Structure 1
């Protein structure tokens, strides 16, 4: 596969909508923007059809865009090798909801728009994305909560700082032993482990942490615990909490890293594929607080035309997420990096509710002056993330690495920075109580 999995996938995409999208890509004048354009609220109409409704809302209220040429995003070589080695044995289960035969790499590298189950395959590809597939530890990052608006001065409603945003995958490992599957998977059936915390600011929430386990069994919902220092009590949380905004204001656990609820609990519809704008090669790290929308985004930043798969996800009310507050999530999936540059959610009345934007950088280190987190190849790093309640105007913008945090390098991906022992309730409580990072 000399041309690479991503390039081969593009060549076999079928369907009239896909062909029209490719024609649009070859005719930049038809797209409404060209490299060198600078988008502001005054000319926002140029990008209305090139972003999601939620992103357009942000541009109308002050978020600016620098349009740059499209660049190629390659997968990490170990992930690409695993895809070529294992993907031919992967298929959907008989009910078309779960994956059978997966080991490592991308499960479905050949995406066909005419496949009746293409939407489900796109979402499973996002679960085992190339951005990180062994472990990751984001150390020290901060978030501002503001009310957004065009030319609105920055006024912080709330400030949050966290010590870790960390994860460990038991399946699909390609860079750190044990590979490709942690032996513990056979005993526990856990796909991945996640820890958020301890919260370092504000002071009244200091020590708060969240621990979450995802299981391979389609009928086993996520296990989630929270440690609350005020009560000094470990709480087992109802699974519905993962789709509800938490202490991070507009953020909820199911959208901390794109669309992240349990895959089998949703029904998926393929909306189509289209050339749209996204930030996949950000100029700034740390990101820059937007001065023209009250600090509700990162701007100005580089946006480029990308080939996107668009999928609608609706919760299956008959299962554990019956209390989900979103009636529908529209996922915009980049076809090369396999991460969602943005997502829109809709409330139970069918109205636009929340928008989530992720700004990603493509480089061999998270920050230019890194001394430890340096890689032998380029990879994607999320350097900014924003969740906006479009019905109230409240937004929480997170900076990764943080603006006011002691850790400069921030992202440690597939470096063995955390192991399974890091993701236990005992370890979480100890770290939250002692403040030891």
Structure 2
């Protein structure tokens, strides 16, 4: 089956668009498509008869040469670039790109999109598949859409009926239960000069805590701690977040430890369009992980589904033989190191509600069907001008069956600057999955213990 040039809309999606937003779980008949015509988390299992292959279970084993050390090697070293999209042919491929991608190509002579063979490598643990099937018939959005009923873990809406359900799938997608990572962030000037800010991130889902109690903190989705480890002028500052599900009922709980003052303070600014940590004004709090936090300030429209060239299997960007100087360039990252493939994505448009405030008036999300990860997001300002373009360079953490990002990049097309975060090439112990955590490690009292220079 080959998609038409613009949109593919399933029967359930067509019914939803015709009748307005739906907030009910799907029928058993729809749920039974999971693992049959749909993958276990809701993507179309079939290919398009041309360039997108059928999903065959994804990449569930590590390539030869991987040492089980968290240093990920490219499982497809012999793949060659098929063609590239640049200023000479961008109009020919514009229907399979976002307006932001097109703008980047037209803005920079050396910005291009290298296209490779499509490989549907996404795979999750069986427990994630089981939860998706279970959630499909029982999990509902609450009437406001700002929270969920009958939900504890996993993909809540594998057969989405509206745009907000797609976004909740992105927010809640599996990232290993409990993980620690050491990563770098850069904010180059327009001429390419930069310094590296280093972070140690801890992300633990409530259900993954060693002392998990289903009767406590039921409105919390996960706990997040971020310590700055360099440079020296910032080292020791720590952010702690208790991510609540319904953030209208109970706003995100956030605290910061300032190493210079040796004080812990509440941090209500760590939400929505509050400034991102050490981001030089180049991202908002809700730009982290492409998008995070409460969706209550926007109206969400499910535009449809389309084929699109998105960053995928981006193993070159985690190559330990590379230095950051080889990745970070003026205006954009080194596109020679990137890889794009044709995949199907859900297109969701967020429009700022009347009376609400945010620096982004409109956001267009393109969410990979195989992972529920946002792959590309175009951000528009209050004048309707395309402002920032986010790209997530995805990869499969094949030793743990976890799709995630190699790096995220957010381009400011007006200033000519950008922010790249999640860099690991020069970091020690970049990722550790399955780290055992307790709830006491995510209390404000624990911040001071973590915040040492």
Instruction: For residue 349 of structure 1, give the secondary structure of its aligned residue in structure 2.
Output: coil
Instruction: For residue 341 of structure 1, give the secondary structure of its aligned residue in structure 2.
Output: strand
Structure 1 residue corresponding to 2:219, chosen from 166, 189, 194: 189
Q: Does 1:75 align with 2:124?
A: yes
Distance 2:196 2:423 in 1: 14
Asked if the contact 1:185–1:191 (Cα under 8 Å) also holds between the matched residues in 2, the reply is no
Distance 2:260 2:186 in 1: 23
Cα deviation, residue 422, structure 1: 2.8
Partner residue in 2 for 1:142:
184
Distance 2:93 2:274 in 1: 30
Structure 1 residue corresponding to 2:231, chosen from 202, 205, 223: 202
Distance 2:115 2:289 in 1: 24
Give the number of equivalent residue pairs.
Answer: 382
Partner residue in 1 for 2:295:
263
Partner residue in 1 for 2:156:
107
Structure 2 residue corresponding to 1:344, chosen from 367, 370, 378: 378
Counterparts in 2 of 1:52 and 1:317: CA distance versus 1, 3 Å? same
TM-score norm. by structure 2 comes to: 0.75
Aligned-residue CA RMSD in angstroms?
3.1
Instruction: For residue 193 of structure 1, give the secondary structure of its aligned residue in structure 2.
Output: strand
Structure 1 residue corresponding to 2:252, chosen from 198, 222, 226: 222
Distance 2:392 2:220 in 1: 27
Asked if the contact 2:136–2:159 (Cα under 8 Å) also holds between the matched residues in 1, the reply is no
Instruction: For residue 313 of structure 2, give the secondary structure of its aligned residue in structure 1.
Output: coil
Distance 1:230 1:327 in 2: 36
Counterparts in 2 of 1:4 and 1:234: CA distance versus 1, 3 Å? farther
Asked if the contact 2:187–2:419 (Cα under 8 Å) also holds between the matched residues in 1, the reply is yes
Partner residue in 2 for 1:274:
306
Distance 1:99 1:2 in 2: 24
Partner residue in 2 for 1:3:
36
Asked if the contact 1:353–1:391 (Cα under 8 Å) also holds between the matched residues in 2, the reply is yes
Structure 1 residue corresponding to 2:273, chosen from 237, 240, 243: 243
Give runs of aligned pairs for residues 290-301 of structure 1, distance below 5 A.
293-294=329-330, 296-300=332-336, 301=338
Asked if the contact 1:223–1:239 (Cα under 8 Å) also holds between the matched residues in 2, the reply is no
Could you say which structure has the higher helix fraction? 1
Cα deviation, residue 310, structure 1: 1.0
Asked if the contact 1:6–1:335 (Cα under 8 Å) also holds between the matched residues in 2, the reply is no
Asked if the contact 1:159–1:202 (Cα under 8 Å) also holds between the matched residues in 2, the reply is yes
Cα deviation, residue 357, structure 1: 1.4
Distance 1:99 1:187 in 2: 15
Asked if the contact 1:222–1:239 (Cα under 8 Å) also holds between the matched residues in 2, the reply is no
Structure 1 residue corresponding to 2:430, chosen from 399, 407, 410: 410
Cα deviation, residue 110, structure 1: 1.7
Asked if the contact 2:41–2:155 (Cα under 8 Å) also holds between the matched residues in 1, the reply is no
Asked if the contact 2:100–2:388 (Cα under 8 Å) also holds between the matched residues in 1, the reply is yes
Partner residue in 2 for 1:308:
345
Cα deviation, residue 256, structure 1: 1.1
TM-score norm. by structure 1 comes to: 0.77
Partner residue in 1 for 2:113:
65
Distance 1:296 1:257 in 2: 19
Q: Does 1:119 align with 2:163?
A: yes
Partner residue in 2 for 1:56:
102
Q: Does 1:161 align with 2:189?
A: no
Counterparts in 2 of 1:297 and 1:57: CA distance versus 1, 3 Å? farther
Moved more, 66-75 or 270-279: 66-75
